[in-house]
Amino acid sequence: MMSPLWWVIALMVVLALAFFLWPMRRKATGSHLEQVRRRYLETNVVLFREHLAELEASRDAGRLSQSAFEQLKREQERALLQEERELATSKPTRGRALPGGRVLMLSAVVLLAGSIGWYEWRGASEDLHLAELQMAKSLQDREDRMNDRRVDPGLTWTLVEQIQKRLEDNPDSTQHLFLLALYSRELGHFDRAIEAYERILELEPKSPRIQAELAETLFIRDDNRIGSRARDLIKEALENDPQETTALGLAGIDAFGNQNFQDAIRYWQRALDQMDPRSGNAQAFQRGVERARSALAQRGETPEAQTDEPSAEASIEIPLRVRLGDEVDFDGDQWVFVFARAWQGSPMPLAITRFQANQLPSSIVLDDTMGMSPAASLSSVEEVELVARLSKDGDATPKPGDWQGLVGPISLDDVPENIELVIDEPVTE
């Protein structure tokens, strides 16, 4: 059975053939032949007149007698009349101009058939079928949820079987391995999902997303407990990408389970800083932060515990004023991220805060209490670069369409009193 893709391709081939063959067919019709006849006859008449003029000139110059002139003139007239009769009695013939059209049509058919055969041989048609199954599953799942029905796992099983067939042909396809892990998790087959994730990590050992999702799958399989393997994966994911939200969420859960409530707040707040506050995940993280704050209060501690003597880490402060450039379009619901990072070093923020764009212009202070981890703080470097970014979608990761402003280097041994950070540069990549 032909897929919709092939029907579309076949239709396009037919249209292309019609585009070329229709003019060729017209050239072989009687109307075109009449035009040829007329032009040919006009040419013959012109030649007849030229020959007659030459004969008259020869006669007048004495090179040709009158009788010879009359004889040659009659021969020219008979020849002209004979050609006119032959043109008048000839019949239009169809198809004389079509051998090239037949070749074109045959070539198109062979090309289409060869393309289908090659496509089938290379297996891409199976990926097309897989994409169609994914679309059907998405539509069916949405319909089930809209009608308050239990999501039917039938299409998911079909997808898993199709993915496994594709992996038999290409066992190192990270795309198919990822889909296998995703749908196996959905079916509750966590061991198969873990095996797929582990295989991806063998092929891409530094992927923070896969590390985080594997840790999450282990967490779910082990009845919401974080074991040593999951803990190692979380640590590696955050080393590779300190903003990986799944890993931050799991790190917060691990810290909360070990009653390290301050660490749990820090991890979850870092994740919240990158999320749309209206999303379900953000609301879940916010509830976790509130629970951790409540647990600290029950122990008589505050979320930001203070000691009697100020620490060296809290002594560094960077006051600055942030504003938007005049040419920047924005709405009040967009988020602004302001952070300091090592000058010409790691892009990981050493201190970060965020607020909504409707609060601009705004005066803020960055200090070590805003660090993303104790090992990466303002106190760990000598010079920093200050960045303010207006995010179009609430994500701290820069994307085309965002706007930002940068200032640096700023020496932490002599921090200026009046630092102005203007968001006026478009993010292009």
**Structural domain of residue 294, as residue ranges?**
147-298
Residues 19 and 91 in one domain: yes
pLDDT of residue 198: 92
Domain annotation covers residue 138: no
Comparing 313 with 342, the larger pLDDT belongs to 342
Q: Are residues 159 and 294 in the same domain?
A: yes
139-180 pLDDT, tens per residue? 766 766 666 666 667 778 888 888 888 778 788 888 888 888
Cβ pair 368, 361 in contact under 8 A: no
Question: Which of these, 249, 256, 258, lies nearest to 283 by C-alpha position?
Answer: 249
Task: Pick the range with the lowest mean pLDDT from 229-243, 251-265, 349-363, 364-378.
Answer: 364-378
How does pLDDT run across 377-429, given as a tens digit for each residue?
Answer: 787 788 899 999 888 777 767 888 888 899 888 888 888 888 899 988 888 76
pLDDT at residue 309, rounded to an integer: 40
What CATH number is associated with residue 196? 1.25.40.10
Give tens-digit pLDDT for 238-250: 998 888 999 999 9
Together in a domain, 226 and 339: no
141 in a structural domain:
no
Question: In this structure, are 107 and 203 located in the same domain?
Answer: no
pLDDT of residue 230: 92
Examine residue 81 and state whether it is found in any structural domain, yes or no. Answer: yes
Q: What whole-number distance in Å separates Cα of residue 139 and Cα of residue 339?
A: 41
Statement to judge: residues 109 and 156 lie in one domain: no
Q: Is the dihedral of CA 342, 347, 351, 354 positive or negative?
A: positive
Give the tens place of pLDDT for each residue, 77-113: 777 777 677 666 655 554 444 455 555 566 666 666 6
pLDDT of residue 197: 92
**Average pLDDT, stretch 24-47?**
63
- pLDDT exceeds cutoff 70 at 115: no
Position 9 scores a pLDDT of: 63
Regarding whether 293 and 160 lie in a shared domain, the answer is: yes
Q: What local confidence, expressed as pLDDT, does residue 234 receive?
A: 93
CATH number at residue 397: 2.60.40.2580
Q: pLDDT per residue over 207-256, tens digit each?
A: 899 999 999 999 988 888 899 999 999 999 999 888 899 999 999 999 99
Q: Is residue 357 part of a domain?
A: yes
pLDDT at 1 over 50: no
Higher pLDDT: 112 or 302? It is 302
Q: Where among 298, 329, 362 does a domain terminate? A: 298
Same domain, 152 and 289: yes
SS3 5: helix
53 and 158 together in one domain: no
- Within this chain, do residues 102 and 205 fall inside the same structural domain, yes or no? no
- Kindly state the DSSP code that residue 373 receives in the 8-state scheme: B
310 in a domain, yes or no?
no
Question: Same domain, yes or no, for 328 and 223?
Answer: no
Domain count for the chain: 3
Confidence of residue 341 (pLDDT cuts 50, 70, 90): confident
Q: Which of 242, 264, 298 is the last residue of a domain?
A: 298
Residue 164 falls inside a structural domain: yes
Domain end point (choices 271, 298, 325) = 298
What residues have CB less than 8 Å from 11, skipping those under 6 apart? none
> Residue 5 phi/psi, 5° resolution?
-60, -45
Q: Are residues 282 and 325 in the same domain?
A: no
Considering only CA atoms, which of 210, 124, 133 is closest in space to residue 170? 124
What mean pLDDT value characterizes the chain?
Answer: 76
Residues 206 and 104 grouped into a single domain: no
Residue 17 placed within a domain: yes
177, with CB counted inside 10 A (0-12, 13-18, 19+), is: buried
Q: Does some domain include residue 360?
A: yes
